[in-house]
Amino acid sequence: SVNPDLASERQTASFSVEKLTAWLDGGVEHTQLRRAVVEAIERDPVFSRENQYFESQNERYEAAVRKAVHLQKKMDEMGWTDSGPEFKYIYRALSGDLAFLLHRIFIRSISMLGSDQQIAKWIPLATQHQLIGSYAQTELGHGTYLQGLETTAVFDITTQEFVLNTPNISAMKWWPGDMGRSATHTVVFAQLYVNGKCYGLHPFIVQIRSLQDHSLCPGITAGDIGPKMNFEHIDNGYLMLQNVRVPRENMLSKFCEVQPDGTYVRRGSQKINYFTMTTVRISLILDEVVIPLMKACTIAIRYSVVRRQSKLKPGEQEAKILDYQTQQEKLLPQLAAAYAFYFISDYLQELFNRGYTEIQRKNFDMLPELHAFSSGFKAMVTQYSTSAVEICLRACGGHGYSLLSGLPSLYTKIVASCIYEGENTILFLQTARFLIKCFMAASTGQPVPPSVTYLAAVTPEKCPAENKLDFLSPDIYTEAYQHMAARLINSTAAKLQDLIQSGVKKHDAWNQCTVQLAQAAKAHCHYITVKNFAETVEKLETQPGIQKIMKHLCDLFALHGIFSNAGVFLHDGYISGAQMDMVTASYLDLLAVIRKDAVPLVDAFDFTDKTLNSALGSYDGQVYQRLYEWAQKSPTNKQMSPAYEKYLKPLLHKTLSKL
Amino acid sequence: SVNPDLASERQTASFSVEKLTAWLDGGVEHTQLRRAVVEAIERDPVFSRENQYFESQNERYEAAVRKAVHLQKKMDEMGWTDSGPEFKYIYRALSGDLAFLLHRIFIRSISMLGSDQQIAKWIPLATQHQLIGSYAQTELGHGTYLQGLETTAVFDITTQEFVLNTPNISAMKWWPGDMGRSATHTVVFAQLYVNGKCYGLHPFIVQIRSLQDHSLCPGITAGDIGPKMNFEHIDNGYLMLQNVRVPRENMLSKFCEVQPDGTYVRRGSQKINYFTMTTVRISLILDEVVIPLMKACTIAIRYSVVRRQSKLKPGEQEAKILDYQTQQEKLLPQLAAAYAFYFISDYLQELFNRGYTEIQRKNFDMLPELHAFSSGFKAMVTQYSTSAVEICLRACGGHGYSLLSGLPSLYTKIVASCIYEGENTILFLQTARFLIKCFMAASTGQPVPPSVTYLAAVTPEKCPAENKLDFLSPDIYTEAYQHMAARLINSTAAKLQDLIQSGVKKHDAWNQCTVQLAQAAKAHCHYITVKNFAETVEKLETQPGIQKIMKHLCDLFALHGIFSNAGVFLHDGYISGAQMDMVTASYLDLLAVIRKDAVPLVDAFDFTDKTLNSALGSYDGQVYQRLYEWAQKSPTNKQMSPAYEKYLKPLLHKTLSKL
């Protein structure tokens, strides 16, 4: 039975939850397929995640391998293909709690960077799991700055082989997933040397473990890097190479090749070697960031209408905590952000698809924009969402801190997204470099990509809003964001030029502006996210019920951003203090409006209880019962601890005569 | 041998690290005692924490009990007393990784709330560990709002006993430490009923487990609440009571008592029952928040001069990451905050000592101020420090995410401090209620405590600073904080009154102002922290070297706060846009100044490697070697996973003929 406090929230929805779900899925047929896949996965006990909060790293790894192997069978059985739409639903149902995910990156990098012969040789073996691949890029001493990688691959013309080496401890590969215990093969990124000349970073397929008995191959040292904040199910590994030889054909050579005589041939931008990372950055936004954020919102919002604490009115029953303004102010902006980022993820995917088509045609013109966008949005969305999940966790008080709430593991996992696939600050600075270039170009009338033409646009000097309702106009707030982003880029570019003109060296000047450059890049991404949300709402004309609530969320996302970054809007007087009071008033009013639909808005994400895996977030809201029953299954309650016999009993038995 | 990149940082310190350490400790004799205690603890292998990142919840609990029992012997052996200065050093050396901490709260609450007879009976037994106590306040459905607790204690006049009951599932005690598996006794907070009349919450000593065989006493259901984000070593527990009878003498009765005939007698404010919480809040600031923050800073800053990444100047070696402005901007404000909060913790301790003396004399006048201060500062310091530790973690990139860095466990532990001992938002609102009251009183000329007289003070309407150097004047920035805090309290009080005058009911009006009230309370605490830091620096006249660097840190703490909360300073034009540019310039300049002393400033915290327990933060900076050696000891590298034989081998053996 559903907790009556939760049930009552569903009776007053201002829109159809089913319709919103279908729209989010891109059509009711997608919803049906998703539900069918999720149901098939959840019906199968091999995929159960119920005990994961009790398991050790070794147990988690074993379970992840079991699931990955079983999934292959399941997919054959169900007729699901790796490239079909089903995989994203499978991933969602399993919450990514699966081994061999880096194996997928192994496949992707060969598909993208390998020659036709390499694809023909390796892809069938890999897709049938007749080998297990990994992707070995990061080193113990080197992360996002790829040029700094130290692993070497020297071409030996006499044997037509590359000889790979780890020249010192900081060059040891460190972190690659699936490599610590599972992988038989990996794509190693190494500095290519031919005839003593370094040609920079290139990818090489290297076998690291025997297919016979899984022992390490000659010259290979490898193992697991030990405990982490999350990802216990993944065997992140280390790898040292000592004179490991691979044939010439093992260098991925779609875009560059070493010919038998040692001639180095390039067939495209060297930057294409980093393209796998660009694609990964874009796809992780939905799977690793937005969906976890949606889960956190679902858990925290459902719990917040079941939990009662203190009294709003004297003499009445204790109030649902979501009826407190402070709780609304914690959770509802995160809900709005979840929608905003869901839409921006769509936008990026489209941009990327266009770019990829061009690249397949060997047109690399869009690479800088794609790189800048994938970097900036990866950084912005992961940073914002990490903080959002943390807010959800803390908003659930003590129970949010129990692993059984599901929130701690969402947090400890999402926080990694700020670091992996490019550390966020470095990514923001890469976006900033692009923006500064575009700004310079735009100021001198040169053409720039459509997404940044606003840098040269003329906006009014003052926000025209006259009352708090004006701030519910997307034109008003989108323009405020545009003005603010353009101003930050403009003023940072000016500071940079001033420094250089005053004699500071270019690289020092850049460094002295980086705090502001990163801020400007973030502002740009924030602006595009608001604009894209407003445009998404506009296109919803045919579904007025959904359009109305989405408009509220868009307003909330935008005004929350102004309220919490007030300084950058007030700085040049574009928004005055009096207008900021209007923003605040409209923002706080919106909280009360959206609060009424809060539960339907998370119900529309359509997570099953098993997917959420949370005592606080289940559909029926039986929070306390679930916490109590689940806790009893904890290994800490399975038997009396040996600590009693060993330490407590001798201590306590001294007292028997005295009490 | 010390990593040369780290060694070079120590050669250029602008001050004596030893002198700073001694000053922080409150005198060189304290430093000596601390070092002696820490050394004695660390020399004893029972207290080793080296394996803790590899251990399960059961193993951690067993180790914590072992350490606690062993510590008793050690203390006897060394002549250390519980009430002596040694315990805080012991706690520091063990990083709180110890059982029976709630046992200490059990003792403290009996000492504070018990009658002389009760103290005489229970304290000796408890201090000699002849029973193990806990403190059972929070319930499954009730946390910070104590009046909502549902557990009942009904006085049975015929047997002269209290009958305790858990009326339903949400009334189950939930979370008390040491209660899940260890405790034999606990202080249960329950609603007292005499002759059908409820007298509110009172504390009762209840035995829950047999001293003979540790089995649960009749009427008791208890166990461990299962896995949490941290505190694996603590057996947080649940407890249900069914008609559990305790003698009349078991109600703690220093301030109130039920006499044999059922007469209820009060001897002081009922609020005194919450006083244990006030004292806990103040003492946790140093032990659970400031010291962990200092550790996080130590780890992240040392690592940031060992780690090299990317190039600052083309053609040069990769740069130390602490030489990047963005890395400085992440870490150095957190370092300044660690100092700021260390000083505010001192300030609070003094305030508390004064208050406690008065309370012992049955003068309760200071209670409201003490309560407001302990609430607001607990909330402000825990929130700020949690975010600071997270910044330190993320600033260390992927290696920060490894448990072996020590940072994840610092984070997952400190985040709990935002929730336990009062949820932060509720605490801020309690402080806000006090501030609004004082503001009202001050406006009408009534006397208010000295800490809040500023609410009625007249400040200039514009900040008088004319150039960026003016913002290095404590008068200038302290006044800016004061103005800002007073304005926020003033404007929120005005909004509240406007709402009430326009007919909104008082409790609704309050709720509609809570976002701004919480902000105002935080601003007040931030102001006092800045002011106290500036006053602390001023008193350092006799030690000019230390004074100089502390002055820089104070400036940084203050300007960072203005820079990152620009909106509230710009809002009414007190600081103009042009002045904010000066703040930004001074702030960024300071980063480069303090960067030079960053390592000496964390060295002065004087943590041993064993205390830090971090591969990244050790004194010698041998980061990569330590990570590699420690990872090899992980249980994931102890043997081949059963997953190989079960799942991988069958999969891979299909391929042998094909490669």
- Does residue B502 sit at the A interface (CB-CB below 8 Å)? no
| Helix, coil or strand: residue A232 | coil
Q: Is the pLDDT of residue B433 over 80?
A: yes
Q: Which helix (H) or strand (E) holds B192?
A: strand B185-194
Residue B451 burial by Cβ neighbours in a 10 Å radius (0-12, 13-18, 19+):
middle
Question: B187: part of which helix (H) or strand (E)?
Answer: strand B185-194
pLDDT at residue B363 is higher than 90: no
Interface of B with A in 174-233 (CB under 8 A): 174-175, 180-182, 184, 211-212, 214, 223-229
Task: Please choose, from the candidates A163, A166, A144, the residue with its C-alpha nearest in 3D space to the C-alpha of residue A155.
Answer: A163
Q: What is the pLDDT of residue B4?
A: 97
Q: CA of B639 to nearest chain A CA: how many angstroms apart?
A: 10
Q: What is the mean pLDDT of chain B?
A: 95
pLDDT attached to residue B269? 66
Give the pLDDT band (50/70/90) at residue A9: very high
Is residue B54 over pLDDT 70? yes
Distance CA A516, CA A501 (A): 19
Tell me the CATH number at B243.
Answer: 2.40.110.10
Q: Does the pLDDT value for residue B646 go beyond 90?
A: yes
Report if residue B95 sits inside a domain: no
The β-bridge relationship of strands A135-136 and A185-194 is: parallel
Task: State the average pLDDT over residues A176-203.
Answer: 96
Q: Three-class SS of residue B49? A: coil
Res A359: pLDDT: 82
In this predicted structure, what is the pLDDT of residue A33?
96
A554 and A579, same domain (yes or no): yes
Residue A205, φ and ψ in degrees, nearest 5: -85, 125
- Report long-range pairs for B14-19 (Cβ below 8 Å, ≥24 apart): B14/B545, B14/B548, B14/B549, B14/B596, B14/B597, B14/B600, B15/B545, B15/B546, B15/B548, B15/B549, B15/B597, B15/B600, B16/B545, B16/B546, B17/B600, B17/B603, B17/B604, B19/B543, B19/B545, B19/B546
Q: What angle do CA A587, A588, A593 make, to 5 degrees?
A: 95
| Helix, strand, or coil (residue A139) | strand
Instruction: Give pLDDT tens digits for A15-71.
Output: 999 999 999 999 999 999 999 999 999 999 999 999 999 999 999 999 999 999 999
Instruction: Give the mean pLDDT of B282-309.
Output: 97
Q: Which residues from chain B sit within 8 angstroms of residue A400, using beta carbons?
A: 419
Where is the domain boundary, B245, B267, B289?
A: B267
Q: How many helices, marked H, and strands, marked E, lie in chain B?
A: 25, 11
Distance from CA of A33 to the nearest CA of B (A): 29
From the CA of B535, how many Å to the nearest CA of chain A? 28
Same domain, B547 and B595: yes
In a domain, A50, yes or no: no
Domain identity same for B323 and B464? yes
pLDDT value at residue B271: 67
Yes or no: say if A203 and A187 are a contact pair by the CB < 8 Å rule.
yes
Residue B61 is predicted with a pLDDT of 97
Domain-ending residue, one of A201, A236, A267 = A267
Chains A and B form CB pairs within 8 A to the count of 389
Chain A environment of B182 (Cβ under 8 Å): 643, 648
Alpha helices in B54-157 (DSSP H): 57-78, 86-94, 101-113, 116-127
> Distance between CA atoms of A349 and A354, rounded to whole angstroms?
9
B57: in domain: no
Question: Which tens digits make up the pLDDT trace of A634-643?
Answer: 999 998 999 9
Count the neighbouring beta carbons within 10 Å of the beta carbon of residue B160.
13
HSE of A489, CA atoms in CB hemisphere, 13 A: 33
DSSP string, B267-336: -S-GGGGGHHHHHHHHHHIIIIIIHHHHHHHHHHHHHHHH-B-S-SSTTSPPPBGGGSHHHHHHHHHHHH
Give a yes or no: residue A118 inside a domain: yes
The beta strand positions in B385-473, using DSSP E, are none
The whole-angstrom separation of Cα A360 and Cα B251 is 79
Total structural domains in chain B?
A: 2
pLDDT bracket for residue B655 (50, 70, 90): low
Residues A226 and A312 both lie in one domain: no
Q: What is the pLDDT of residue B273?
A: 61
Confidence band, pLDDT 50/70/90 cuts, at residue B367? confident
The parent domain of residue B531 ranges over: 274-658
pLDDT tens, residue by residue, A130-173:
899 999 999 999 987 888 999 999 999 999 999 999 999 999 99
Q: What is the pLDDT of residues A298-325, one digit of tens each?
A: 999 999 999 999 999 888 999 999 999 9
Which of A244, A267, A290 represents a domain boundary (last residue)? A267
Task: For residue range B194-204, list pLDDT tens digits in order.
Answer: 999 999 999 99
The answer to whether A631 contacts chain B (CB < 8 Å) is: yes
* DSSP secondary structure letters along B390-414: HHHHHHTHHHHHBGGGSHHHHHHHH
- The rounded distance, in Å, linking the Cα atoms of B408 and B392 is 10
Sign of the torsion formed by the C-alpha atoms of A509, A510, A515 and A519: positive
Q: CA A59 from chain center: how many Å? A: 25
- The DSSP secondary-structure symbol of A52 reads G
Query: What does the pLDDT read at residue A653?
Result: 83
Over residues B152-180, mean pLDDT: 97
Question: For B448-497, how does the pLDDT look when each residue is reduced to its tens digit (9 = 90+)?
Answer: 998 899 998 877 889 999 999 999 999 999 999 999 999 999 999 999 99
Percentage of chain A modeled with pLDDT above 70: 98
Residues 249-278 of B with CB under 8 A from A: none
* pLDDT tens per residue across span A585-632: 999 999 999 999 999 999 999 999 999 999 999 999 999 999 999 999
Kindly report the CATH number assigned to the domain that includes residue B340. 1.20.140.10
Per-residue confidence (pLDDT) for residue B293, from 0 to 100: 98
Verify whether the Cβ–Cβ distance B227 to A518 is below 8 Å. Answer: no
How far is B399 from B615, CA to CA, in rounded Å?
9
- SS3 at position B482: helix
Q: Which two tokens stand for residue A81?
A: 């293909």
- Non-local (6+) Cβ contacts of A64 within 8 A are A97, A98, A99, A233, A234
Query: Is the Cβ–Cβ distance between A142 and A115 less than 8 Å?
Result: no
CB contact under 8 A, A65 and B648: yes
Do residue A513 and residue A450 come from a single domain?
A: yes
Q: What mean pLDDT is reported for chain A?
A: 95
Task: Quote the pLDDT of residue B365.
Answer: 83
**d(Cα B353, Cα A426) in Å, to the nearest integer?**
48
DSSP per residue, A332-370: HHHHHHHHHHHHHHHHHHHHHHHHHHHHHTT--TTHHHH
| B581 to chain A, closest Cα gap in Å | 9
Report the residue from B226, B326, B644 with minimal CB separation from A630: B226
The catalytic position among B329, B421, B423, B535 is B421
Q: Which two tokens stand for residue B213?
A: 């065989």
Phi/psi at A58 (nearest 5 deg)? -65, -40
Residue A287 lies in a domain: yes
Cα B509 to chain center, whole Å? 32
User: B206 in a domain, yes or no?
Assistant: yes
Grouping H, G, I as helix, E, B as strand and the rest as coil, residue A525 is helix
Residue A389 and residue A436 in one domain = yes
Inter-residue contact A205 to A187 (CB < 8 Å): yes
B570 and B506, same structural domain?
yes
Residues linked to residue B189 through DSSP beta bridges, in sequence order: B203
Six-digit token string for B223: 């166990």
B602 CB-side CA count, 13 A? 32
Q: Is residue A160 part of a domain?
A: yes
Residue B324's identity, in one-letter code, is Y
> Are B539 and B586 within one domain?
yes
* B257 lies in the same domain as B280: no
Q: CA B150 → CA A304, A624, B201, B208, B310, distances in Å?
A: 20, 14, 9, 19, 59
- Helix, strand, coil shares of chain B as percentages rounded to 5? 60, 10, 30
Answer yes or no: are the C-beta atoms of B565 and A567 closer than 8 Å.
yes
From the number of C-beta atoms within 10 Å of its C-beta (0-12, 13-18, 19+), residue B579 rates as: buried
Give the residue from B515, B639, B640 with the most A CB atoms within 10 Å of its CB, the best one to mutate.
B515
Judge contact between A64 and A44, C-beta under 8 A: no
**pLDDT for B652:** 87
Residue A278 or A396, more confident: A396
Contact B233, B98 (CB under 8 A): yes
- Asked if the structure places residue B311 within a domain, the reply is yes
Q: Report CB contact under 8 Å: B588, A426.
A: no
Q: Tell me how far apart the alpha carbons of residues B317 and B302 are, in angstroms, rounded to a whole number.
A: 19
Which chain A residues touch B634 with a CB distance below 8 Å?
57, 224-227
pLDDT at B457: 84
Is the domain of A379 the same as that of A506? Answer: yes
CA A457/CA A441 separation, integer angstroms? 13
Based on the fold, state whether residues A228 and A279 are members of the same structural domain.
Answer: no
- Angle A577-595/A544-564 helices, nearest 10 degrees? 140
Mark yes or no for CB contact A404/B226 under 8 Å.
Answer: yes
Q: Match 């690592």 to its residue by tokens.
A: B303
Please give the pLDDT value at position A270: 64
Which residues of A are less than 8 Å from B461 in CB distance?
Answer: none
Q: What is the pLDDT of residue A84?
A: 80
User: Which of 318-357 (B) contact A at CB < 8 A?
Assistant: 318, 323-327, 329-330
Q: How far apart are CA B591 and CA B393, in angstroms?
A: 19
DSSP type of residue A489: H
B50 assigned to active site: no
What's the rounded mean pLDDT across residues A199-225? 96
- Return d(Cα B566, Cα B569) in angstroms, integer: 5
pLDDT of B527 reads: 98
Record: contact B140-A403, CB cut-off 8 A: no
Give the number of other Cβ atoms within 10 Å of residue A279's Cβ: 18
Indicate whether A656 pLDDT > 60: no
The alpha carbon of residue B591 and the mean position of all alpha carbons in its chain are separated, in whole angstroms, by: 27
- Residue A271 has a pLDDT of 67
> Per the CB < 8 Å rule, is A143 touching B69?
no
pTM of the model: 0.97
Are B340 and B485 found together in one domain? yes
pLDDT, average across residues B100-110: 91
Q: List, as residue ranges, the binding site of B for FAD.
A: 138, 177
Whether residue A82 has pLDDT greater than 90: no
Q: Indicate whether this complex's ipTM tops 0.90.
A: yes
